[in-house]
Chain A
Amino acid sequence: MQRTPPTLPLSDDHSVALRKDQSAERWLMLSLAGPALLLVLVCMLLPVGWLFYLSFFTEDGAASLVNYRNLIEQPSYARIFRTTFEVSLLTTAICALVGYPLAYFLSQLPTRIANLCMIAVLLPFWTSLLVRTYAWLILLQRTGLINTWGIDLGLWSEPLPLVHNMTGTLIGMVHIMLPFVVLPLYNSMRTIDRSLIQAAANLGASPVQGFWRVFFPLSLPGLMAGSLVAFILCLGVYVTPAVLGGGKVIMVSSRIALDIDTFLNWGSASALGVVLLLLTFLLLLLASRLTKGLSLLGSGH
């Protein structure tokens, strides 16, 4: 009763060869990603690591935790972080509220007309951020176009405080961030299969039901992707609150600029950067937990 296990050596050879192939393929794939990985390493990990390192030194170059202790002890820092997240959240929420109907409208148009309308959304993208921000200043200030016209037309009698405060900052920020929300949203709406909505109607759903129960859930990944990009960009914005906030909307970036430009204190500025980064990570982690089951980056339905 001798039975040699059939073709075992052969299969061994095969599997070894297969594994070799597999690993070769993996390395090939990795090498394809190499340039991108290198870029991330050079442009992202090294500077962040350097920041992290710097944040543990005082102005005199002595190692200490004083930069982080200041963040806790001085009440202005907590308030600055609160303002930063408040402005970012509000901007993102307004962008989503304004951007969703716009993207929906565009997605229902014939492609050619939609593309034309898209120019209106993209136009701000092609204009310098500074120019747009100062344009808002000219429109919104006490002697600006809106207040002058409003008073001339008798709509209101005293100039409205539209700028040099939170209102002005939000107007400017929403204008800048809107394309970041609309573009992915429009894209995801375009790819939604129309026959699904027809099927819903066939099965007796009213148009409103069809929208909320079929279309809206399918467009959520696009909404999430757009909102996330806008939110993260908002966190680092410097120019818009500096110009339209009138010194009353102080965000982390402007405090970093103060520390470096006026006080040459890189350690303190770095600590701010590190904490902002960590808080952002935490918040995103929380967001992904809360929206579990709903893919954050818009892959699949």
Chain B
Amino acid sequence: MTRKRSTLAFAITAFAGAIALGNATSAGAQELTVVSFGGAYQDGQSKALFQPAAKALGIKLKEETYTGISAVAVKVKAGAVTWDIVTSGSGSAARAGAEGFLEKLDYKVIDKSSFFPGTAQDYCVGGDVFSTVMAWNTKTYGANGPKSWADFWDVKKFPGKRSYRKDVAGALEPALMADGVPPEKVYEVLSAPGGIERAIKKIKELKPHIAVWWSSGAQHAQLMKDGEVDMITGWNGRFDVVAKDGAKVAYTFNQGLLDYDCYAIPKGAPHKDLAMKFLNEIVKPQYQAEFTKFITYGPTNKKAYEIGAIDAAYAKTLPSHPDNVAKQLSINLDWYIKNETKAAAAYQNMLTE
């Protein structure tokens, strides 16, 4: 009995020791852990942002991948935060920040003076701008695709199968524009009583023609590559990637929804101060300009367009180029923080009807 007990005790001590040792080594070196979504996107981040910035600051860097901000919430709740910086969508970061899972960013350290308005929020600093656009199958419509959301809804003028987003984010605004609401009034209408219902009613109109409700960027790109649908909403960079692969797809920035990916620091990150400095480094214009070479997502830092590092013709294909910004509507994060849960419930009701 005593022997057994001592074995057990030994095992526990050894285990605890191993954990302590693990902590000690990770705390000893100045090593940042940066997390993103993997794939071609993180490859680009790594080559254009993370590795060069680590070199410039003279620190060690560890990269990991994850599926989304909910993993941060789990780590924070468990008190086992090992990540210093996470990449996130702007909306989920705003929500996670409001729920206390992220550190407030210190804009005395991070220079946001030349950022596009709204792309540097309290808990997350913008890294790249993307756009939710309407894309079409060029085999079906040639170069004469839809020019507006009203066209997207017009199944007489543009007969064919549609695909639309399965989640509510970015799904209501196009419906209202199709219903005749001018872009600058969209959030005003959505915030007013009956606004969400009006958008959902409009989506119901299109529902019989929606063959697939897509749930990820990889999926909407694949759908166009396979020619499964004729018209779709989605994130512009993904369509460019499959178009390069030979997919018959084109898109327009007209009435697109401007949104951005951003960088956040989880609450209780092991190297919070260093992480702030690192963020200030990777949002500098030269880094952001370099990143555009990997995917057609635009910089959040206006200066990136001015330093001459982006080819002028290529710059015009980026969502945050001033010419393209003028054609689009920016996602309103405040509206989402206040209304997304309610809107999502209504959207689910519509989907399951």
Q: Which B residues are CB-close (under 8 A) to A20?
A: none
- Residues 295-353 of B contacting A (Cβ, < 8 Å): 340-341, 344-345, 348-349, 351-353
Distance A80 CA – B212 CA, assembled complex (angstroms): 18
Q: Is the CB of A261 within 8 A of B341?
A: no
Complex CA–CA separation, A258 to B351 (angstroms):
14
Check if A264 sits within 8 Å of B345, measured CB to CB. no
| Residue from B67, B167, B215 with most neighbouring chain A CB atoms (10 Å) | B215
Distance in Å from the Cβ of A266 to the closest Cβ of chain B?
9
Which of B38-71 touch A at CB < 8 Å? Answer: 67-70
Q: Is the CB of B92 within 8 A of A141?
A: no
With A142-B228, A263-B344 as known contacts, state yes or no: A247 contacts B213, CB within 8 Å: yes
Q: Which residues of A (176-216) have their CB < 8 Å from a CB of B? A: none
| Complex Cα–Cα for A83 and B69 (A) | 29
> Interface size (B, Cβ < 8 Å)?
30
Contact status A164-B92, CB under 8 Å: no
B8 CB → nearest A CB, Å: 15
Is the CB–CB distance between B211 and A262 below 8 Å?
A: no
Partner of B214, one of A80, A247, A250: A247
- Say yes or no for A49: interface residue by CB 8 A criterion: no
B73 within 8 A of A: yes
Contacts of B352 in A (CB 8 A): 75-76, 79-80, 83, 250
B contact face: mostly helix, strand, loop, or mixed: mixed
- Given A247-B166, A263-B344, A264-B96, do A142 and B349 touch, yes or no (CB 8 Å)? no
A48: Cβ under 8 A from any B Cβ? no
Can you list, as one digit per residue, whether each of A225-248 has a CB less than 8 Å from chain B (1) or not (0)?
A: 000000000000000001000111
- Nearest-neighbour CB distance to chain A for B113, whole angstroms, equals 32
Cα A22 to Cα B257 with chains together (Å): 75
Does any Cβ of B come within 8 Å of A143's Cβ?
A: yes
Q: Tell whether A264 pairs with B73 under 8 Å between CB atoms, given A76-B345, A143-B226.
A: yes
Q: Is the CB of A262 within 8 A of B96?
A: no
Given A143-B228, A262-B167, A264-B96 in contact, is the A74-B345 Cβ separation under 8 Å? yes
User: Which chain B residues border A21 with CB–CB below 8 Å?
Assistant: none
Contact between B351 and A76, CB atoms less than 8 A apart: yes
A25 interface residue per 8 A CB criterion: no
Contact B167 A264 (CB under 8 A): no
Residue A118 interfacial (CB < 8 Å)? no
Chain A residues whose C-beta falls within 8 Å of the C-beta of B245 in the assembled complex? none
Q: Give the Cβ gap from A248 to chain B, nearest Cβ, in Å.
A: 7
Is A51 an interface position by the 8 A CB rule? no
Q: Per a CB cutoff under 8 Å, which of B92, B161, B349, B351 touches A262?
A: B92
Contact B349 A76 (CB under 8 A): yes
Residues of B105-123 at the interface with A, using a CB-CB cut-off of 8 Å, are: none
The residue of chain A having its C-beta at the shortest distance from the C-beta of B168 within the complex is: A262
Which of chain A's residues have a CB closer than 8 A to the CB of B349? 74-76
Given contacts A143-B228, A260-B70, contact A246 B96 (CB under 8 A): no
- Residues of B with C-beta under 8 A to A13: none
Please provide the chain A residues from 247 to 293 with a CB less than 8 Å away from any CB of chain B in the complex: 247-248, 250, 255, 258, 260-264
Q: A residues 39-83 with Cβ under 8 Å of B? A: 59, 70, 74-76, 79-80, 83
Report Cα–Cα, A83/B212, bound state, in Å: 17
**In the complex, what's the smallest C-beta–C-beta distance from B251 to chain A, in angstroms?**
20
User: Chain B residues near A59 (CB, 8 Å)?
Assistant: 99
Chain B, 59-96, contact with A by CB distance < 8 Å: what is the 0/1 string?
A: 00000000111100100000000000000000010011
A76 & B348 in contact (Cβ 8 Å cutoff): yes
Expressed in whole angstroms, the Cα–Cα distance for A181 and B322 within the complex equals 61
Q: How far is the CA of A76 from the CA of B346 in the complex (A)?
A: 9
| A264:B215 contact, CB within 8 angstroms | no
Compute how far the CA of A263 lies from the CA of B98 in the bound complex, rounded to whole angstroms: 12
Residues of the B chain whose Cβ atoms lie less than 8 Å from the Cβ of A262: 70, 92, 167, 344
Q: A80-B352, A263-B340, A264-B99 are in contact. List 20 more A-B contacts (CB 8 A).
A: A59-B99, A75-B349, A76-B349, A79-B352, A79-B353, A83-B352, A142-B226, A142-B228, A143-B228, A164-B211, A246-B212, A247-B212, A247-B351, A250-B351, A261-B67, A261-B70, A262-B70, A264-B70, A264-B73, A264-B96
Q: Give A residues with C-beta under 8 Å from B.
A: 59, 70, 74-76, 79-80, 83, 141-143, 161, 164, 242, 246-248, 250, 255, 258, 260-264
- Interfacial residues, chain B to chain A (CB-CB below 8 A): 67-70, 73, 92, 95-96, 99, 101, 161, 166-167, 211-215, 226-228, 340-341, 344-345, 348-349, 351-353
- Between A and B, 11 residue pairs with Cβ closer than 8 Å are A59-B99, A74-B349, A76-B348, A83-B352, A164-B211, A247-B166, A247-B213, A247-B215, A247-B351, A258-B344, A264-B70
